[in-house]
Amino acid sequence: MHYYSTNNKQHKVSLGEAVLEGLAPDSGLYMPESIQRLPKLFFDSLSEKTFQQIGFEVAKNLMGNDIPEEELTRIIEYTIQFDAPLVEVENDVYSLELFHGPTLAFKDFGARFLSGLLGYFARLNKKDITILVATSGDTGSAVANAFLNVVGTRVIVLYPSGKVSEAQEKQFTTLGANITSLEVSGTFDDCQRLVKQSFLDVDLKNLLSLTSANSINIARLIPQTFYYFQACAQVKQKDKPIVISVPSGNFGNLTAGLMSKRMGLPIESFVASTNVNDVVPEFLRTQIFTPRNSKQTISNAMDVGNPSNFARLLDLYDNDFQKLSNEIMGCRFSDDATRAAMRKVFSNFSYTLDPHGAVGYLGLKEFLKDHANHTGIFLETAHPAKFIETVEAAINHKVEVPARLETFMKGEKKSIPVSSNFAELKKLLPTLIAQ
């Protein structure tokens, strides 16, 4: 399978190049050159397959023969070690719980698959790889845990000092081994700028074999298609059309859903649900895309003003607005509406939403108002304990903290304080790798 750049379909590379490069040289995003429908037999037996079997066949369909089957099996087993249960919240409204992984957010799927693939290519090329990642919280923890002790890889996490929650910080600063955390005196934007500057510095990029781990990397999207299949496999009543609401920030998760539909998965519609950072719902309403600075909200993993996967959304529909808007409805919700949804769902149905899942739930309910007789699914992208203060205040009830989160909290934080100056970082990075 080859992958083309969304900026130039003639520019095609192998899977290895697409994954190691992350972004195409022309700043486009990589897409598989064909997304084939899976055979009828696959769908007929979907409900009998295990999650890992589904993952294997879907991955094979998107990756072709670029990776030996036994390697792919190993990577799938590493990626899918936890379930994605479909839980009925109210009549015909289901939560697809994607938070059962080690760092309690759906990003565990993408980070673990990427780690498996990069580990494979590092061994194949006999060259160690350095993953440089800027985080506002969830990405750093998922990536650090996914790469922990993976031979041939080293992770350097840059995070803004004092601007991530303690639970998030502990999930990457306590690991040691091949994971190093740099505590930047600055903002998330500073961290992201430092990472970009490092990639643009050709000497540094080559010296350290720098690789990106954020959702521009196609390897993070591929495993996110698996759980859409797993969701449909769990739907008991098969005669109603299915709609899936995706709480969105950079729109990687929604893109993966659309790719699943392209592979033949019977999902009738999608809802692109956002907080007040609503450039995509606005685009779906007006056909005008206006990126802008993000605003802070209680669903902070979706505080994105210039969604990086927008190019992939357009590409999937050949820039045809009509086709795209026929399949995707956009919705935005305020923090007050989000809190009210958490409160209502807890008191009426004893189900605890996190702020991101609550946005997804609201978008789904909005769709169902005008489309009765559908099976509705929203993605619950993180465990409520990750946002414990916001959730407990909203539902006025204690939230149980899973044991794996408590274990992180007991670890000792180790980080290296750095300034937001690139020249200093450039001097420091090679010394870290030499250790």
Ligand X SMILES: *Cc1c(COP(=O)(O)O)cnc(C)c1O
Q: Which of residues 370-409 bind ligand X (CB under 6 A)?
A: 381-382
Name which position in 59, 164, 233, 301 contacts ligand X (CB under 6 A). 301
Please give the size of the binding site for ligand X, defined by CB under 6 A.
16
Binding-site string for ligand X from residue 55 to residue 94, where x marks contact by CB under 6 A and - marks none = ----------------------------------------
User: Three-class SS of residue 243?
Assistant: strand
Minimum CB distance to ligand X smaller for 59 or for 246 = 246
Q: Which is nearer to ligand X, 29 or 208 (CB)?
A: 29
Determine which one of 9, 40, 49, 107 is catalytic: 107
Q: Which of residues 203-232 bind ligand X (CB under 6 A)?
A: 215
Which residues in 94-123 contact ligand X (CB under 6 A)? 105, 107
Judged by CB under 6 A, the residue of 21, 57, 108, 138 near ligand X is 138
d(CA 17, CA 398): 47
Among 4, 113, 147, 251, binds ligand X (CB under 6 A): 251
Which region among 61-69, 243-251, 315-323, 415-423 touches ligand X (by CB under 6 A)? 243-251
Stretch that binds ligand X, among 10-18, 162-170, 251-259, 314-322 (CB under 6 A): 251-259
Query: Minimum distance between the CB of residue 137 and ligand X, rounded to whole angstroms?
Result: 8
Q: Taking a C-beta distance cutoff of 8 angstroms, is the pair 164, 188 a contact?
A: no
Q: What would the two tokens of residue 343 be?
A: 């409160």
Q: For residue 250, state whether it binds ligand X (rule: CB under 6 A).
A: yes
Closer to ligand X by CB, 271 or 302: give it. 302
Provide the minimum distance between the beta carbon of 48 and ligand X in the complex, in angstroms, as a whole number: 30
Rank residues 247 and 376 by Cβ distance to ligand X and give the closer one: 247
Amino acid at 25: P
Question: Which one of 356, 384, 391, 399 is in contact with ligand X (CB under 6 A)?
Answer: 356
170 catalytic residue (yes or no): no
Q: What is the CA radius of gyration of the chain?
A: 21
Q: CB nearer to ligand X: give 139 or 234.
A: 139
Two tokens, residue 77: 């087993």
Specify the residue, 86 or 129, whose C-beta has the smaller distance to ligand X.
86
The answer for residues whose C-beta is within 8 angstroms of residue 277's C-beta and 6 or more apart is 249, 294, 295, 297, 302, 303, 304, 305
Among 231, 302, 313, 324, binds ligand X (CB under 6 A): 302
376: which DSSP letter? Answer: E
Nearer to ligand X, 152 or 384 (CB): 384
Residue 52 has which token pair?
């890992």
Q: Point out which residues bind ligand X (CB under 6 A).
A: 105, 107, 138, 215, 247-253, 301-302, 356, 381-382
Catalytic residue IDs: 107
